[in-house]
Amino acid sequence: MNYDEKRGLLLKGEVIADLEHLRKLFIMPDSPDKFIEFGNELLNLIHSFFQDKGGIHSAISLPELAKIFSDTNLPKYPHLLKDVLSEIKSKVIAHSVKVGNPYYIGHMTSAIPYFMILLEMIIAALNQNQVKIETAKASSFVEREFIAWIHQLVFKRTDSFYKKNIQNYKIALGNITSDGTIGNLTGLLVARNKAFAANDRFPGIRKAGFYEAMRYYKYRKAVILVSRRGHYSIDKIARTIGIGQDNVIRVPVDSMNKIDIKALQQTMGEIKQFNDANDEKIKIISIVGIAGTTETGNIDDLVELKKAADETTSHFHVDAAWGGAVLLVDDYKYMLKGIERADSVTFDAHKLLYSPLSMGMVLFRNEKDLDNIKHSSSYVLRPDSVDQGRFTVEGSRPFSCLKPWATLKIMGTEGFRLLFGLAFKHTNTIKNLVDKHENFEAMSTPELFIFTYRFVPGEIKEKLNLLMSRIEQEPDKSGAARQKVRKINNMLNTLNVELHRYLREEDNSFVSRTRLESTRYYPQKVVVLRSVTVNPLTTDEIIKEIIDEQNTLGIRIYKLHFANNFLKLS
Ligand SMILES: Cc1ncc(COP(=O)(O)O)c(C=O)c1O
């Protein structure tokens, strides 16, 4: 039992605060032995997490977890590192989600290569702060090199452009950000500042603020156009940069979940009409294209969107947080045709670059665009400095780009060709299984590794198909059929939510779920299951097992709770 002079006996696990002991906790030249000893222990701990064959989510309930982490006392006395590691093992690791499990095919957060753990150790050990060169020497150059690689991939400017600018500290080709949200924020902030720029008579929106900018430029409001599949970060950004979320105009999508170009043109036409008739006009600050929508993985027609942006003289931002990485593979570049003409592009490393959380980036075709948010301060970022922090929304930033930078070397673009090839194969596998299955219905056409579908017992599917063909043949006389379809879909929505809940309880596999309006049942929103098949450890056999389990459970739930209601409906 430990004893403290002021407090008396210490509780189990507590030790006396001792400065010498505390100093030894910091990395010192003479303490590598401890570092290696605990490093091994830590790696074993992590290894046991991956070896554990238990369920994906751990069975503990959320209230039970809340109880474990409800100690209102701030730790006053030190604890031994080994005791804290053991607490982390039992309380945290044991109840973490196994997102790398090959049966976990429900989210963009997935498996990572093991070397990422080692790279994270280097990042932590070096503790570089990318905000400025005084705290990030070689790592600043790595960052610039990595940004130039991805810039080149997206915008394909000339070799001489990259030779000249790869390490040119006077400009920034883009930023490493903490995630895709900050990537999108940076792109749209630049768009806003460009739209309401400074000139001889106006100091610009950055200085004068939104209200003065509207007054000076004679605008009533500023809007962003994006499809209904746009990530919710666009709404957050509109709230943050003063646009207001109501001014994110959500354009409908077609049956492929791509922005409906006709609907977009109609919206643009309405804005033009409004502007022709009013002194105070509406400014489109950006048209946003999506290269890999979060819910369905589909890609907008970027060529058409660029034309629309030119027509409205607005900034063209592409949110390629999900799909941007397929540009690494020549065979797939055609899918993102037009991205090279974007003004800015968001990319996430913690998605298809297989990096652990978190790292995003934003790239600008024009190397001067980031001047629109450039700043300086006399203490960290002097105007004549070489610091990357002059161009970023964020302040202190970790050396996270080491992970994708090293990954590209370790795997090469050839490695990514194989990984993405496998992901395409698995996406086809699940789609084919669903298409051929009497009890499932495909709800979207996959492009980039995401597929949505739902459980529909065969007898209901037959009925729905009949009703839908009646509606198609006689659209004007199909009120009753439409009504029936609506009721059946409401029931199927409840059935699929139930199925998803049961699957979570079984915890053998995981797919996510969302609601889509863009199916053949438009405008009714239907509940769909969503698979994201990018884990290279997943196999065709595993996917088949997952669908089989969903089918078995689905039939059981249907027979128990829904079959009678369905009979009544028909
Ligand atoms: C298309 C798209 N954009 C932006 C984001 C936001 O990225 P992050 O979660 O890294 O902030 C996501 C995340 O899923 C996304 O799918």
Mean pLDDT of 421-430: 98
Mean pLDDT of 35-54: 83
Mean pLDDT of 295-323: 98
Token pair 């006709």: residue: 262
The model's confidence at residue 40, banded by pLDDT at 50, 70 and 90, is: confident
Residues with Cβ < 8 Å from 414, sequence gap 6 or more?
none
Rounded Cα gap, residues 428 and 307, in angstroms:
32
Alpha-carbon distance values, 75 to 14, 71, 482 (Å)? 9, 9, 62
Closest CA to 521 of 452, 458, 567, 459: 452
Instruction: Read off the pLDDT of residues 526-569 as tens digits, 9 standing for 90 and up.
Output: 999 999 999 999 999 999 999 999 999 999 999 999 998 887 77
Instruction: Read off the pLDDT of residues 84-109 as tens digits, 9 standing for 90 and up.
Output: 999 999 999 999 999 999 999 999 99
pTM over 0.75: yes
**How is 343-380 classified by DSSP, letter by letter?**
SEEEEETTTTT-PPS--EEEEESSTTGGGGG----SSS
Residue 103 covered by a domain: no
Q: Whose CA is nearest to atom 7 of ligand 1?
A: 180
- First-to-last CA distance in the chain? 74
Residues with Cβ < 8 Å from 5, sequence gap 6 or more?
none
Residue 118 covered by a domain: no
Question: Based on the domain organization, do 200 and 63 belong to the same domain?
Answer: no
Lowest mean per-residue pLDDT among 176-185, 266-275, 335-344, 472-481 = 472-481
Sign, CA torsion 84/85/89/90: negative
Pocket test for ligand 1, best of 178, 322, 352 (most atoms within 8 A of CB): 322
Q: Is the pLDDT of residue 69 over 70?
A: yes
CA 36 / ligand 1 centre spacing (Å): 37
Mean pLDDT of 126-147: 97
Residues with Cβ < 8 Å from 318, sequence gap 6 or more?
288, 289, 290, 291, 302, 339, 342, 344, 345, 346
Assign 3-state DSSP to the chain and report helix, strand, coil percentages, each to 5: 50, 15, 35
Mean pLDDT of 293-301: 98
CA 321 / ligand 1 centre spacing (Å): 6
Question: Based on the domain organization, do 162 and 286 belong to the same domain?
Answer: yes
8 Å CB contact between 264 and 225: yes
Q: Whose CA is nearest to atom 9 of ligand 1?
A: 180
Amino acid present at 11: L
- Residue 476: give its domain's CATH number: 3.90.1150.170
Question: Based on the domain organization, do 180 and 41 belong to the same domain?
Answer: no
Residue 526 covered by a domain: yes
Q: What is the pLDDT of residue 227?
A: 98
Residue 393 covered by a domain: no
Q: Which long-range contacts (CB under 8 A, 24 or more apart) does 555-558 make?
A: 555/439, 555/457, 557/495, 557/498, 557/499, 557/502, 558/455, 558/457, 558/495
Token pair 């074993």: residue: 44
Q: What is the pLDDT of residue 3?
A: 72
How many domains does the chain fold into? 3
Q: Is the pLDDT of residue 280 over 80?
A: yes
Which of 311, 342, 372 is a domain's end point?
A: 372
Q: Is the pLDDT of residue 247 over 80?
A: yes
Residues with Cβ < 8 Å from 37, sequence gap 6 or more?
none
Q: What is the pLDDT of residue 398?
A: 98
Calculate the average pLDDT of the chain.
94
Position in ligand 1 atom list of the atom nearest CA 290? 1
Residue 135 covered by a domain: no
Question: Based on the domain organization, do 246 and 366 belong to the same domain?
Answer: yes
Element (H or E) spanning 455, and its range?
Answer: strand 450-455
Question: Based on the domain organization, do 80 and 156 belong to the same domain?
Answer: no
Rounded Cα gap, residues 526 and 518, in angstroms:
9
CA 370 / ligand 1 centre spacing (Å): 21
Ramachandran class of 480: left when φ > 0, alpha when ψ lies in -120 to 50, beta otherwise? alpha
Q: What is the pLDDT of residue 221?
A: 97
Which of 372, 398, 428 is a domain's end point?
A: 372
Residue 140 covered by a domain: no
Amino acid present at 230: G
CA 463 / ligand 1 centre spacing (Å): 38
Instruction: Read off the pLDDT of residues 492-508 as tens digits, 9 standing for 90 and up.
Output: 999 999 999 999 999 99
Residues with Cβ < 8 Å from 565, sequence gap 6 or more?
491
- Residue 200: give its domain's CATH number: 3.40.640.10
Q: What is the pLDDT of residue 381?
A: 67
Q: Whose CA is nearest to atom 8 of ligand 1?
A: 180
Ramachandran class of 279: left when φ > 0, alpha when ψ lies in -120 to 50, beta otherwise? alpha
Residue 500 covered by a domain: yes
Q: What is the pLDDT of residue 380?
A: 66
% of the chain with per-residue pLDDT over 70: 97
Number of H helices, E strands in the chain: 17, 13
Element (H or E) spanning 450, and its range?
Answer: strand 450-455
211 phi and psi, to 5 degrees?
Answer: -60, -50
Element (H or E) spanning 286, and its range?
Answer: strand 281-290
Rg (CA), the chain: 27
Mean pLDDT of 166-186: 97
- Residue 38: give its domain's CATH number: 1.20.1650
Mean pLDDT of 392-412: 98
Question: Based on the domain organization, do 469 and 536 belong to the same domain?
Answer: yes
| Full residue range of the structural domain in which residue 504 is found | 412-569
Question: Based on the domain organization, do 441 and 525 belong to the same domain?
Answer: yes
Rounded Cα gap, residues 534 and 555, in angstroms:
28
Question: Based on the domain organization, do 424 and 356 belong to the same domain?
Answer: no
The binding-site residues of ligand 1, defined as CB within 6 angstroms of any ligand atom, are 108, 179-181, 184, 231, 233, 290, 292, 294, 319, 321-322, 348, 360
Closest CA to 155 of 315, 367, 298, 323: 367
CA 184 / ligand 1 centre spacing (Å): 9
Q: What is the pLDDT of residue 475?
A: 85
Per-residue tokens: 143: 């960052």
Question: Based on the domain organization, do 353 and 422 belong to the same domain?
Answer: no
Alpha-carbon distance values, 450 to 104, 250, 318 (Å)? 13, 21, 19
CA 105 / ligand 1 centre spacing (Å): 17
Rounded Cα gap, residues 295 and 253, in angstroms:
13
Closest CA to 238 of 220, 254, 250, 229: 250
8 Å CB contact between 463 and 456: no
Q: What is the pLDDT of residue 21?
A: 81
Instruction: Read off the pLDDT of residues 448-469 as tens digits, 9 standing for 90 and up.
Output: 999 999 999 999 999 999 999 9
Q: What is the pLDDT of residue 310?
A: 98
Residue 35 covered by a domain: yes
Question: Based on the domain organization, do 79 and 170 belong to the same domain?
Answer: no
* DSSP state, residue 245: G
Rounded Cα gap, residues 375 and 381, in angstroms:
8
Question: Based on the domain organization, do 295 and 215 belong to the same domain?
Answer: yes
Question: Based on the domain organization, do 224 and 332 belong to the same domain?
Answer: yes
